[in-house]
Chains A and B, each alone.
Chain A
Amino acid sequence: MTATADFEAFVRERGARLQQAAWLLTGSRNLAEDLVQTALYRTWSHWNQVRDTNAREAYVRKAMLNTYLSWRRRAWVGEAPTEDVGQQGWSTTGTESAEVRMDVLAALSRLPRRQRAVITVRYFLDLSVEETAVTLGISVGAVKSQAHKAITNLRQDRALSSLFTEEIA
């Protein structure tokens, strides 16, 4: 298989999950698509140097998170979560209602960017603490600390507190 065909197969197979993670990071479908595509562009030049599919996904994930943290520092202050009504292609077939989706986005948007990244990588992409640390380029202790703070923030967030209260009750 040529590098191009290999790359295309990877995009088809893993692109959706990466876009969903990017949506949780950015709160925008447009930005999510841009973020994933930017990460893919950046990894292309090293594509043949990484043969294993899982290693490639880790490489793209890392590029995506680096890009997100970099973009966020430079350009995304003041982001307001929206559902991007009218954006073609995305379907809302998740089990949660649109209201809950918006609440989740609103709560995530109030997290510091690194906490948001930890939450997305650890609890959506389902990586271990160690893998999360490698992806974000921080220590295992920092992942645990950031995750703990993020969960506390989410639990106390005005948009999500009722959800947790209901579930506990």
Chain B
Amino acid sequence: MDDLEERISALLHASVPTPPKLDAAAIAAHAQAGPASHRWRAPVGIGLAVLLLALVPTFLVSHARHDHSGIAAPAASGTGDSLCHAALGDAVLSEITTTVGEARATRYGPPTYRPAPNAFPQAASTDRAAWCWVATTSAGRVEAGSYTCYLVGPDLSKIEIVIFERTTVPDRAPGAYIR
């Protein structure tokens, strides 16, 4: 290295902040499980998705047409530790688990757009988060065929991400539709 190269190198070394220790166990566990965008494609997930696609629109159409008292669509996933249900209640139609890191990196729509690059600043990248689809409501009424996606963090705070107009309940994270 010449003098100038050594100065650049020294400047870089002196400038970098010290990062936190990575949660090695969590990363290993997540790596073994595979990325969230692939996990839902596992056979069991596909089976559940097919079942949901077959059943949930029937419930939704029924409620959209006859129940204008608020969101009353049935929950598609109701596990005890569900972030979506804890944050949004029984309005949740489908839930896709993810991590805070993956949620921050998610993009959709225009090539440069990431909807939540700084979501949940107090959370670690490996913390659990979830994409939650609920029926869109307007003035207390369910809008048929319209679904709102929220990102829910480990502290149960929620961020509204996007509204999709679809005939069936979305079963993927927003970015998955353009991958």
Query: Interface residues, chain A, CB within 8 Å of chain B?
Result: 4, 7-9, 11-12, 15-16, 19-20, 23-24, 29-34, 36-38, 40-41, 44, 71, 74-78, 84, 86-96, 100-101, 104-105, 119-120, 123-124, 126, 147, 151, 154-155, 160, 163-164, 167
Contact between A11 and B28, CB atoms less than 8 A apart: yes
Residue from the list A11, A29, A87 in contact with B22, Cβ < 8 A: A11
13 contacts between A and B (CB under 8 A): A8-B28, A15-B24, A20-B19, A37-B22, A37-B30, A44-B28, A75-B112, A88-B20, A88-B124, A90-B18, A94-B18, A154-B8, A164-B7
Asked whether, in the complex, the Cβ of B19 is within 8 Å of the Cβ of A124, the reply is no
Complex CA–CA separation, A168 to B122 (angstroms): 42
Q: Which 7 A-B pairs have the closest CB atoms?
A: A89-B20, A44-B31, A11-B24, A8-B24, A19-B19, A15-B22, A123-B9
Interface of A, helix, strand, loop or mixed by DSSP = helix
By a CB distance below 8 angstroms, the chain B residues around A155 are: 4
Q: Are B22 and A88 neighbours in the complex by a CB distance under 8 Å?
A: no
Answer whether residue B158 sits at the interface, using C-beta atoms and an 8 A cutoff. Answer: no
- Size bracket of the B interface: 35 or more
Q: Kindly report which residue of chain B lies nearest to residue A147, judged by CB atoms.
A: B5
Contacts of A37 in B (CB 8 A): 22, 27, 30, 101, 125-126
Give the A-binding residues of B (Cβ under 8 A): 4-5, 7-9, 11-22, 24-25, 27-28, 30-32, 34-35, 101-102, 104-105, 107, 111-112, 114, 117-118, 121-122, 124-126
The complex places the Cα of A12 from the Cα of B125 at a distance, in Å, of 16
B111 / chain A contacts, CB cutoff of 8 Å: 74-75, 77
Question: For residue B125, which residues in chain A have a CB less than 8 angstroms away from its CB?
Answer: 30, 33-34, 37
Bound complex: CA of A89 vs CA of B24, how far in Å?
15
Contact A15 B21 (CB under 8 A): yes
CB-defined contacts of A123 to chain B, threshold 8 Å:
5, 8-9, 12
Are A86 and B24 also in contact (CB < 8 A) when A93-B17, A94-B14, A124-B12 are?
no
